[in-house]
Amino acid sequence: MMAGETRGKPIRCRAAVCWKAGEPLVMEEVMVAPPLAGEVRIRIICTSLCHSDITIWKLKDPPGCVPRILGHEAVGVVESVGENVSEVTEGDIVLPILMPDCGECTDCRSEKSNLCSKFPFKISPWMPRYESSRFTDLKGEVLYHFLFVSSFSEYTVVDIANITKIDPNIPPNRACLFSCGVSTGVGAAWKTANVEKGSTVAIFGLGTIGLAVAEGARLRGASRIIGVDLNPDKFEIGKKFGVTDFVNSGNCGNKPVRQVIMEMTDGGADYCFECVGMASLVHEAFACCRKGWGKTIVLGVDRPGSMLSFPSFDILHSGKSLMGSPYGGVKPKSDIPILLKRYMDKELDVDKFVTHEMRFEDINKAFDLLIQGKSLRCVLWMDK
Instruction: Give the C-alpha separation, 324 to 273, whole Å.
Output: 10
Give the per-residue pLDDT at 254.
Answer: 87
Give the per-residue pLDDT at 3.
Answer: 57
pTM for the full model? Answer: 0.94
Give the per-residue pLDDT at 303.
Answer: 81
Give the per-residue pLDDT at 250.
Answer: 87
CB 220 within 8 A of CB 348: no
Residue-level length of the chain? 384
Burial class (CB in 10 A: 0-12, 13-18, 19+), 121: middle
Give the per-residue pLDDT at 2.
Answer: 54
Instruction: Give the C-alpha separation, 12 to 124, whole Å.
Output: 24
What backbone torsions phi and psi does residue 368 show, to the nearest 5 degrees?
A: -60, -45
What backbone torsions phi and psi does residue 12 show, to the nearest 5 degrees?
A: -95, 130
Give the per-residue pLDDT at 1.
Answer: 53
Contact partners, residue 180, CB within 8 Å, separation at least 6? 50, 52, 72, 73, 97, 98, 327
Per-residue pLDDT of the chain (384 residues; tens, 9 = 90+): 555 789 999 999 999 999 999 999 999 999 999 999 999 999 999 999 998 999 999 999 999 999 999 999 999 999 999 999 999 999 999 999 999 999 999 999 999 999 999 999 999 999 999 999 999 999 999 999 999 999 999 999 999 999 999 999 999 999 999 999 999 999 999 999 999 999 999 999 999 999 999 999 999 999 999 999 999 999 999 999 999 999 998 888 889 999 999 999 999 999 999 999 999 999 999 999 999 999 999 999 888 788 999 999 988 999 999 999 999 999 999 999 999 999 999 999 999 999 999 999 999 999 999 999 899 999 999 997
Instruction: Give the C-alpha separation, 27 to 267, whole Å.
Output: 53
